[in-house]
Amino acid sequence: MEVGGGSLLLARELAAFFQSGTVLEPAPAAEKLWQELPQEIRNRLELRSDTLEQFQDLHGFDGIICCEVLEHVPDDQAFIHRLYALLKPQGQLILSVPAGMRHWSVHDELAGHVRRYEREALSLLLANARFHTQQLVSYGYPFVNWLHRPRQWHAQRHQDRLQDQSLMARSIRSGIDQVSGFPSWLGFFINPVTAWPLCRLAALFNHFHLSDSYLVIAQK
């Protein structure tokens, strides 16, 4: 299950690795995005408009993926406990969150973020929910940090238009619009082949507190 599917780009990628799955995404625009997926993927992928609190499941999941969602949730402890309850025994949670309050900016405010996470606080949050953390890495340095100024510039341009929206509305919008404005020709320069050496370089810094993003793999 993916919690907070947003634009469904990740769900589409995940469909290549799983026989079936469920995506939770309360944004009304998600239905149209789901209809645009290939029929073969739609046959195996269920879209639910529920929030995590509303969602009911009697069987549990082998894995739950929750990317860039937890920072939007006021009660993150209850949210993490809910993820734990929805996993089967030995099930895995893959979680990513923005790191370090020192990186807080107007972009976080307009995206509907409540917080950024420090390594110790994130580890404690998972431990309190009885998760066993297998990996916690600060990924993407230095490349993701180069996006600080472009993100702030973009946020400042749209600050007046979005500042009157509720926290929930900003959160939903940020998920659906996360890739808007990027021209398709960028794929010629940014793709798995060109990104591979950059990923290998960034991996050298995974265990240093340098990036503005954390990735966690935890097990029930």
- The rounded distance, in Å, linking the Cα atoms of 7 and 177 is 7
Q: What is the pLDDT of residues 45-62, one digit of tens each?
A: 999 999 999 998 888 999
At 148 the pLDDT is 76
User: What are the structure tokens assigned to 168, written together?
Assistant: 């929930």
Number of other residues whose CB lies within 10 A of the CB of residue 181: 6
Q: Which uninterrupted H or E stretch holds 203?
A: helix 192-203
At 107 the pLDDT is 84
At 181 the pLDDT is 46
Q: Which residues of the chain have pLDDT under 50?
A: 179-181
Buried b (16+ CB within 10 A) or exposed e, 17-47: eeeebbbbbbbebbeebbeebeeebeeebeb
At 212 the pLDDT is 92
Neighbouring-strand partners of residue 48: 24
At 168 the pLDDT is 67
Which homologous superfamily is 57-219 in?
A: Vaccinia Virus protein VP39 (3.40.50.150)
- The rounded distance, in Å, linking the Cα atoms of 69 and 98 is 9
Tell the residue number behind the tokens 């976080």, with chain if given.
108
